A and B are shown apart, each in its own frame.
Chain A
C-alpha cells in the first residue's frame, strides 16, 4: 500500500488494482499531471483568467461610480459585483498567481526535480479550480455573494442575505482554503526537505525564503478562516446561533476570526512579490542583493509581526481603547521591516549598472508604488486618524497601492522575467515597456484620486453618491484610469500572443537571457521535464552567477565561463519521475457536488462524497509508480515517488 522500490512489490500488492496513467500528451496529460512545472502553468493560466474576470467586475464598479447616482448596475447587482471583485482578485487571482510562481520555481531554485508530494500538488490546483468555479457558479444559481469579501456578520446571515450567494462564498472559499493549505504544507516540506547538496537555508534565493515564510503563514492562517467559514456555513445552512445577537451571539467574533486570518493574508499576498523583485533587481543592477540577511530576517519579522496587527481593521468596531492603542502601535512598527526592504532594494540598485528591461521597470514600479501604499498605511496606523479614514475611499486607495502597486506589478515583473524560463522565448521588451507605462499611468489615475475622495468623505461600498459632495471629478478621473489599466492588460495579452507567434519555428532563446543569478537558470529554457540533468552541488548564494563569474587579482569581476558552458543541456535520459495520477482531479470533482448539495439538495452530496472517498482510497492504494514509465535507469529514483497513505 505504500512506497516500494521493486517491481515485484508493486505487482504483488493485492489492492494495487489501479493502474497509473502514463505521461501521454494532449488534455489527458494536463489533467493527470503531477509535474510541478505544468501545475505551475495551470495555476498561472487559471489565475490570469480570474484576473480578467475580476478586472471586468472592477470596470463595472468604475462605470457605476463614474457619475453621481449611477444606474449601470443598480444597488443589488453592485453589491454582488464589488463582493465578487474582492473575492476573485484575492483568492482566485493574486494568491494562485503567486502559487504559480512558487510551484514552478521553488524546486528549480533549490535544486530539486519536483515538489515533495507531487500528487498533493495536483490536488491543490484542482481543488482551487473547483472552488473558483463554485464561487462563480453563484452568478447563475440564485445570485452572487453580496456581503462584501470581508463578509461581516450578521449582515451575511440568512435573514439579511437570503439569496444563496453567501453559501457559495462560505463553501467556495472553504475549497480554495483547502487548496492553499495543501499547497502550503507541500511547499514547506519541499523547501525544508529537498534542497540540493550545499543549499543551506542561507544560500536560498530571497524568493525561496519569501515563499517559505508565505507558506508558513498559510499553514497557520488558513485553519482560522476555515473555522470562520464553517461557523458562517453552519449558521446559514443548519441554523447555528453563532452570529445571532438576539440570543447573545457576538457581532465581533466573525471580525476577529476573519482578520486573524485576513491580516496575515495581506503578507501572504505581498511576500511572494517581494521575493520576485528581490530576484529581478539584483539581476538587472548586476549586483548582489544588498543585505541578504536583512532581507531574509525582515521577511521573517513581517511574518511574525503580521500576526499581531489584525485588530487595526477594527479600530472603530467597538473594541476597547487599550486594544486600539496596542494594535495601533504594533501596526506602526510593522512598517519598520517593510521600510528596510524598500531601502535595501534601493541600495541594491545604488552603484549598479541598471538595465531597464521590462521586468526591471515593473520591479521599480513595486518599490515606488508600494512605498505610497506603505506610507498611507502609516497614516491610518495612527488609530485616531483611522477613525476618519476607515471605510472610506482613502482605504481603498491605500490597499490598491499595496495590492496592485505592490503585488500585481511584482507578479508582472515575474511574468516578464521568467517567461523565457517557462516557454523558451522572451516576451517583446518594447511592448513590455509600453505595457508598464500604460499600467503605471492607468493605475495612478485610478487609485491616486481615491486618496482625495476618501479624505473628502466618500464612503466605501456605496453603490451611488449624490452630487454636491465634491466627488464627481475624481470619480470620473478614476474611471478613465481604470480603462487605461484594462488597456495595459490588453497590451500584455497582445504581447503574449505576438511573441508566441514570432517564436514559432524558432529555436528556443539561449539558456540565460538576463544574465541571471539563481539556480533555476542552470536548466535550459524551456525547462526540460526532468528539470536538472544532474542535481547541482551548491557552494554559494547566487550559485549560477558564481559559476559564470569570478574575480581577477584586482578584485574586478571577470567572466570565467559562458552561460552555455555552465548550463545543463537537458539531454539526460532515464530520469525517473513520479507518475501522473487521475485521483487528484477526481477528488476535486467531488467537492462541487458536496457544496451544491449542501446549498440546494442534500442528495447531491452523496455522489460528491462517493467521488471523494473513492479518490482517497484509490490514491492511497495506487501503485506508487508505473514501472514501465521508467526511462530504464531504475537506480535514479526520485525521492518524490514515495507517498504513504496520508490523506
Chain B
C-alpha cells in the first residue's frame, strides 16, 4: 500500500525518492555535497545520511498514516451520523511527545560528537624547501574573500605574530595566489578565513562544509583531501552583483609536487625578453599596477579599490582559471585561450558584471588591440603552465 501510495502521490514521493540516489550518482556534479573526498566532509556525510533515513521513515509513517486515514475514514454516504466523539488521549499524546524526543536525543549525541571532531585540529608539519633549505611548515592557509574572487596567502614561517585582523592591510606573505588553492593531499590544512569587504562564504563541498568570510573577523576552518585531485567550490554567502561568479578550486597534489609548487611560487617575476612583452610590461606599469601586484616588479601595498587588493599576478600562468574562477586560461590542448583573455583585457565588465565605477571590480582599461597583444605577451611570461592533467581537471564551463 505504501508503495502504491508513493506511486500515486507522484511528485513528492518521486522527488524525495529520486533525491537519495540521484544526487549521489550524478556523473558531472563537482559541487555534490554527498560525495565526500576528505575526512571532514565524510564525518558530516556520516551524520547526515542516517538522519536523512530517519526522516524518510518518519515521512513514510506520516504519509502512509495520512493516506490510510484518508481512505478508511472518508465519508462516502452523506448522512447525519456522527463518529465516536473522543477528545484526546493523554497517554498517547505523552507517547508521541516522548518518542520523538528520544530519537532527537540520540541524534543530538551524534551531532555533538561530529561537531567536536570538526572543531578539532591536528595538522602535522610538512617538509618543504625554501631558498634551498628544507624547512618545516605547519600547513596553514589564509583565505581572503573580496568582491568577487578569492585570495590564498601562505606564510611559510607560520602565523604566529601575523596580525590578520585588518584584512585590507595584511602583512606580506611568501606566496599569494588567487582562485586556486594548492594543498598537499592527505594533510590537514588549517584555514584562517576572512574578508576585505562584505561577507562571503568559503565552501569546498567535497572536503568540508562552509565557513563565512567576514570583514574584521578571522574564522578558523580546516580542509583535508584524501587523494590528489581538483575540488570545486562556490561562494555561498550573497555578496552582491557577481556573487554567482565567485568560484574557487582546491588543487590537492602529492607532497613532492606541493614542495615543487612552493619552490616555483617563491621565485619573483623575471624581466621579459621579447620586445612585445617589454611593451606590455610598460603598459602594466602605467595601468595595471595601480591595483595588481607582481612580486619583484611592484609590491605596493594596497590597490585603488574598495577591497584594497587585486589578484597577485606573479605566477598568473600557473593558474588555470581567472576572474573569480570563471574563465579558463588554457584550451584543453594546453595552449592559451587567447580569445577569452583578450576579451577580458578589452572590456572586463562586459565579461563579468562588476561595479568598476564604484571601485569594485576591474574596469575597462581602454587599451587598443596592439596594446592588448602586448599585455598578453607580458602576462604569458608570468609563471609556468601546469600539466595537461591539471588543465583538464580544473576546466570550467
Contact = CB atoms under 8 A, between A and B. Distances in A.
B201 interface: yes
A41 B274 CA distance: 78
A196 interface: no
B356 interface: no
Contact of B86 (A287, A336, A391): A287
B215 A245 contact: yes
Interface stretch (A133-141, A342-350, A495-503, A639-647): A342-350
Contacts of A467: 397
B15 A250 contact: no
B209 A388 contact: yes
Residues of B contacting A: mostly: mixed
B66 interface: yes
Nearest to A461: B238
B82 A379 contact: no
A336 B85 contact: no
Contacts of A250: 216
Contacts of A458: 31
A371 B70 contact: no
Interface string B68-104: 0110011100001111111111101100110011001
Nearest to A288: B87
A335 B48 contact: no
A464 B55 contact: no
Contact of A448 (B11, B87, B243): B11
Given A448-B12, A457-B31, A470-B28, A155 B104 contact: no
A245 B194 CA distance: 12
Given A251-B215, A375-B59, A460-B236, A316 B107 contact: no
A449 interface: yes
Contacts of A629: none
A251 B216 CA distance: 8
Contacts of A154: 197-199, 215
A457 B205 contact: yes
A251 B85 contact: no
Interface string A355-369: 110000000100111
Given A154-B198, A457-B205, A466-B396, A350 B104 contact: no
A468 to B, nearest CB: 4
Interface string B184-220: 0000000000000111010101001111101111010
A356 B78 CA distance: 12
Contact of A466 (B86, B211, B241, B397): B397
B168 interface: yes
Nearest to B10: A441
Contacts of A242: none
B238 A155 contact: yes
Contact of A470 (B27, B55, B93): B27
Given A382-B51, A383-B111, A461-B238, A351 B198 contact: no
A325 interface: yes
A568 interface: no
B26 interface: yes
A444 interface: yes
A248 interface: yes
Interface in B17-49: 18-19, 22-23, 26-34, 41, 43-44, 47-48
B88 A291 contact: yes
A288 B84 CA distance: 10
Contacts of A75: 241-242, 244, 353
Contacts of A287: 83, 85-86
A371 B239 CA distance: 32
A462 B241 CA distance: 9
Contact of A462 (B203, B208, B244): B244
Given A155-B239, A292-B87, A368 B62 contact: yes
A353 B83 contact: yes
B138 interface: no
A387 B80 CA distance: 55
A6 interface: no
A224 interface: no
A162 interface: yes
A367 B26 CA distance: 32
B137 interface: no
A351 B83 contact: yes
B119 to A, nearest CB: 4
Contacts of B112: 325, 328-329
B75 to A, nearest CB: 4
Nearest to B205: A457
A465 B245 CA distance: 8
B28 A468 contact: yes
A469 B107 contact: no
A372 B59 contact: yes
B212 A342 contact: no
Contacts of A198: none
B214 A317 contact: yes
A285 interface: yes
B237 A391 contact: yes
A470 B210 contact: no
B93 A344 contact: yes
Contacts of B243: 79, 461-463
Given A455-B19, A455-B34, 12 more contacts: A75-B353, A148-B238, A252-B217, A285-B73, A346-B62, A346-B66, A378-B107, A383-B111, A384-B118, A448-B14, A451-B15, A462-B243
Interface of B: 10-12, 14-16, 18-19, 22-23, 26-34, 41, 43-44, 47-48, 51-52, 55, 58-59, 62-63, 65-66, 69-70, 73-75, 80-90, 92-93, 96-97, 100-101, 104, 107-108, 110-112, 114-116, 118-119, 147, 166, 168, 197-199, 201, 203, 205, 208-212, 214-217, 219, 232, 234-245, 306, 326, 353, 355, 358, 360, 396-397
Interface of A: 74-76, 79, 146-148, 152, 154-155, 159-162, 245-246, 248-252, 285-288, 290-294, 316-318, 321, 324-325, 328-329, 332-333, 335-336, 339-340, 342-344, 346-347, 349-356, 364, 367-369, 371-372, 375-376, 378-379, 382-392, 441, 444-445, 448-449, 451-452, 454-470, 481, 549, 556-557, 559
